[in-house]
């Protein structure tokens, strides 16, 4: 009897916490919720909202998916997102960017690193896009609100889905 009561209580509290989670992450028309966090090398946390990202220049790129299908992704360049947290590129930043790296962290704990210098336009034309649409439609639930698209790579392992944290570390 006691066990049934405990299980009942567990199910109840689980349902309740799931409901609370959903309420927190549901589509808010006012875009007041943080959608992405940037942690810079000194530990400063910048919480970005959808409205912050909406102000950035958008870019479209055609790339081949993991399944070999061509898709037109759209979103903002990762470099531009990092600038919102005060990260510098070009003359003001490239020296520091030579000795730091970016860890892109996903909701499922998947992670991939980029050397910051890979995002430096003086060094490379490489595109690292933080995409939010594919062929004009929002990304699937599995891909998350944002996924990286790195069109010039032979493997899609750094196309991190469900990006939630961008973390910069000094070597």
CB-nearer residue toward ligand MTE: 66 or 95: 66
Ramachandran angles phi, psi of 169, nearest 5°:
-130, 140
Q: Are 114 and 152 in contact (CB under 8 A)?
A: no
Question: Looking at 157, 165, 166, 169, which residue binds Mo ion (CB under 5 A)?
Answer: 157
Secondary element (H or E) of residue 52 = helix 50-54
Question: Looking at 78, 160, 164, 168, which residue binds ligand MTE (CB under 6 A)?
Answer: 160
Q: Are 159 and 30 in contact (CB under 8 A)?
A: no
CB-nearer residue toward ligand MTE: 106 or 116: 106
Ramachandran angles phi, psi of 163, nearest 5°:
-65, 130
| Direct distance between the N- and C-terminal alpha carbons of the chain, in angstroms, rounded to an integer | 57
Part in contact with ligand MTE (CB under 6 A); list of ranges 36-44, 52-60, 120-128, 157-165: 157-165
Site map for ligand MTE, 22-61, x if CB under 6 A?
Answer: ----------------------------------------
The tokens describing 41, both together, are: 């090398």
Alpha carbon of residue 65 to chain centroid:
18
Cα–Cα distance between 114 and 160 in angstroms, integer?
11
Question: Looking at 117, 161, 164, 166, which residue binds ligand MTE (CB under 6 A)?
Answer: 161
CB-nearer residue toward Mo ion: 54 or 157: 157
Q: List residues binding ligand MTE (CB under 6 A).
A: 65-66, 106, 108, 110, 156-157, 159-162
**Contact residues for Mo ion (CB under 5 A)?**
157
């Amino acid at each position: 009897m006691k066990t049934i009561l405990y299980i009942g209580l567990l199910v109840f509290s689980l349902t309740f916490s799931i409901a609370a989670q959903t309420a927190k992450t549901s589509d808010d028309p006012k875009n007041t919720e943080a959608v992405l966090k940037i942690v810079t090398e000194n530990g400063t946390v910048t919480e970005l909202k959808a409205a912050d990202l909406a102000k950035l220049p958008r870019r479209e790129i055609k790339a081949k998916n993991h399944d070999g299908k061509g898709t037109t992704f759209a979103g903002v360049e990762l470099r531009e997102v990092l600038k919102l947290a005060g990260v510098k590129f070009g003359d003001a930043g490239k020296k520091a960017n030579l000795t730091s790296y970016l860890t892109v962290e996903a909701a499922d704990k998947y992670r991939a690193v980029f050397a910051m210098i890979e995002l430096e336009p003086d060094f490379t034309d490489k595109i690292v896009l933080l995409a939010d649409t594919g062929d004009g439609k929002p990304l699937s639930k599995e891909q998350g609100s944002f996924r990286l698209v790195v069109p010039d790579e032979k493997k899609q392992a750094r196309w991190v889905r469900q990006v939630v944290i961008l973390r910069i570390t000094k070597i």
